[in-house]
Amino acid sequence: MKITLFLPMIVVVALQAGGCASNEKIQHTMQPDWVVGESAQYPKTLYLTGQASAETMEMAKQLARAELAKVFEVTISETSRDVHIVEMQGGTMTSQSQAERYISTHVDQIVSGVEVVDSWQNPQTLRYHALVALNRDKTARALREDIRHLDETTAQHIQKAQQEIDRLRLAAHAYKAYVAQLERSVIQKKLRIVDPAGIGDPPQLELAKLKADFEQVLGRIHIIAQSTDEQVQDLVNAGLSQSGFNADLKQPPRYVLKATLETVPVIRRENFYWLQAAMNFQLQENNKTAKVRGSDRWEIKVSATDEGLVEKRLKDELNHFGKDKYRDMIIKFALLELR
């Protein structure tokens, strides 16, 4: 079952050669106005346009689409590259920057409705020119509908969070509300580009406050690590604390995160010594029921040219597990509660 943190109706398409609608005209005998200036038929007040030239018509069309998409991609990349999100499909979790979420899969990506509206071949240079256009009004309507849907999703999760008493499920609702508005913020950036007035649809909720509310919820989740290996226990407790959870060892916790480190004998392969290991986690309620709220396994593989360095490499790798990895794991457990 797929758990979707973002619930968008964003209408985006990969800008592939056969993936866009086309309203292309018959090629001109004379140079059209848009080759060196603005198109009279597709004015900037009504359309976003992109034009390019190349040695083949197909390449000119692709470059024109990429030119139009660039405006959107740069806006997303510059404003959201440092935002971290979690996505899940089944029990598999992925963690990436928000910018990667939108622009890593397809190099050229933009709202639907892009059309190749005109083309021309220069009879002297034999280079091909192509013009693509995006209808501002039609695209804006689609983006506003996406925003409406995400605002509804946010409101639903805020209401559920206010009614929830279980700390993990509360965290899941708070996270989904925050991420839905993260999604909205990206759509709003697109809408401002499409909107001739540059206003779009400003949010009613403050994104920074939703983030602060979510982090506050994490801080009320009291978890401590439990392991037969004291070094592993200390390492996990440090990771939980850095992730924003309450890892106070002086008070009885609400949850216990059991951690075990498994290793297999070092093997030599060619000129390297290899060590495979795994960290196993199980989150349990700290009460008589000891209900399991989630489990995870992190595979680790290290190597060194000196056998004596392999154990050190393993410890270094364990220490490199940053706050995002522990936070994302607990978020995953929380999200699974909402299936």
CATH number at 227 reads: 3.30.160.150
Q: What is the pLDDT averaged over residues 207-236?
A: 96
Q: For position 6, which CATH number holds?
A: 3.10.28.20
CA geometry: angle 292, 288, 165, nearest 5 deg: 65
Asked whether residue 120 falls in the same domain as residue 167, the answer is no
Structure tokens at 170: 């509360």
Q: 64 Cβ partners below 8 Å, 6+ apart?
A: 50, 51, 52, 116, 130, 131, 132
Residue 238 reports pLDDT greater than 90: yes
pTM listed for this prediction: 0.80
The HSE-up count of residue 2 (CA atoms within 13 Å, CB side) is: 4
> pLDDT tens for residues 16-27?
434 445 566 555
Q: Are residues 241 and 298 in the same domain?
A: yes
pLDDT tens for 32-79 read 999 999 999 999 999 999 999 999 999 999 999 989 988 887 766 655
Across residues 101-118, what is the average pLDDT?
61
For the chain, what percent of residues have pLDDT higher than 70?
81
The pLDDT assigned to 100 comes to: 52
Tell me the Cα Rg of the chain.
26
Please, which contacts does 75-79 make with residues 24 or more away whose CB atoms are closer than 8 Å? 75/189, 75/190, 75/193, 76/102, 76/103, 76/186, 76/189, 76/190, 77/103, 79/189
The residue assigned the tokens 């440090």 is: 238
Mean pLDDT of 74-98: 57
- Same domain (yes/no): 207, 295: no
| Residues 170 and 295 both lie in one domain | no
pLDDT surpassing 90 at residue 241: yes
Q: Indicate whether 81 pLDDT > 70.
A: no
Q: Of 202, 219, 236, which residue constitutes the final position of a domain?
A: 219
What average pLDDT score do residues 300-305 get? 96
Mean pLDDT across 178-201:
92
pLDDT at 143 over 80: yes
Looking at the structure of the chain, the number of domains it has is 3
Judgement on whether residues 199 and 237 belong to the same structural domain of the protein: no
Least confident range from 4-13, 125-134, 310-319: namely 4-13
**Residue by residue, what is the 3-state secondary structure of 165-219?**
CCHHHHHHHHHHHHHHHHHHHHHHHHHHHHCCCCCCCCCCCCHHHHHHHHHHHHH
Report which of 55, 78, 53 is spatially closest to residue 63, judged by C-alpha positions.
53
Pair (213, 131) in one structural domain: no
Provide the mean pLDDT of the chain.
85
CA distances from 213 to 95, 176, 208, 216 (A): 21, 12, 9, 5
DSSP conformation class of 321: -
310 with 277: CB under 8 angstroms?
Answer: no
Tokens of 84: 């971290």
Provide the domain limits for residue 240.
223-336
What does the pLDDT average to over 181-193?
A: 90
